[in-house]
A = this chain, B = another copy of it.
Amino acid sequence: MTKEIIGGSQASVASVAQRARIAARALARLSSECRTEILMAAAQAIEDASAEILEANARDCRAAEPAVASGAMSSATFARLRVKEAGIAQMAEHVRGVAGLPDPLGKRLAATELDDGLVLYKESCPLGVIGIVFESRPDVVPQVAALALKSGNAIILKGGAEAVHTNEALVSVWRKCLSRFPSVPQDSINLLLTRSDVKELLEQERFVDLIIPRGSQSFVRFVSEHSKVPVLGHGEGICHVYVDEAADIEKAIAITLDSKVQYPAACNSAETLLVHEAIAGEFLPRAVSALRNAGVELRVCPRSLAILGEDGLLAATEQDWETEYSDLILSVKIVSSMEEAMAHIHRYGSGHTETIVTENAQAAKQFLDEIDAAGVYHNASTRFADGFRYGFGSELGISTNKLHARGPMGLEGLTTYKYKLYGNGQTVSAYSKGEKKFKHRRLE
Contacts and interface: CB of A to CB of B under 8 A. Distances in A.
A291 interface: no
A303 interface: no
Chain A facing B: main interface SS: mixed
Given A374-B419, A418-B407, A419-B374, A391 B426 contact: no
Most buried by B among A230, A369, A370, A403: A403
Contacts of A423: 377-380, 384
Given A230-B401, A403-B232, A417-B406, A426 B381 contact: yes
Contacts of A125: 372
Interface in A119-144: 120, 125, 127-128
A310 B286 CA distance: 91
Contacts of A120: 390-391
Contact of A378 (B25, B210, B368, B421): B421
B250 A112 contact: no
Most buried by B among A257, A407, A408, A428: A428
Interface string A403-427: 1101110000000111111111111
A92 interface: no
A258 interface: yes
A127 B401 CA distance: 10
B390 A112 contact: yes
A112 B392 CA distance: 10
Interface in A371-393: 372-381, 383-385, 389-391
A258 B346 CA distance: 51
A438 interface: yes
Contacts of A391: 112, 114, 120, 438, 440, 442
Contacts of A431: 389
Interface string A12-54: 0000000000000100110000000000000000000000000
Contacts of A440: 391
A379 B424 contact: yes
Interface string A97-119: 00000000000000010100010
A273 interface: no
A210 to B, nearest CB: 7
B389 A255 contact: no
Interface string A247-272: 01011001101100011000000000
30 contacts: A28-B370, A112-B390, A114-B389, A114-B391, A250-B425, A251-B424, A251-B425, A258-B429, A368-B420, A372-B418, A373-B418, A374-B418, A375-B418, A376-B418, A376-B420, A376-B421, A377-B422, A377-B423, A378-B421, A378-B423, A379-B423, A380-B421, A383-B427, A383-B428, A384-B428, A389-B431, A391-B442, A406-B418, A406-B419, A408-B419
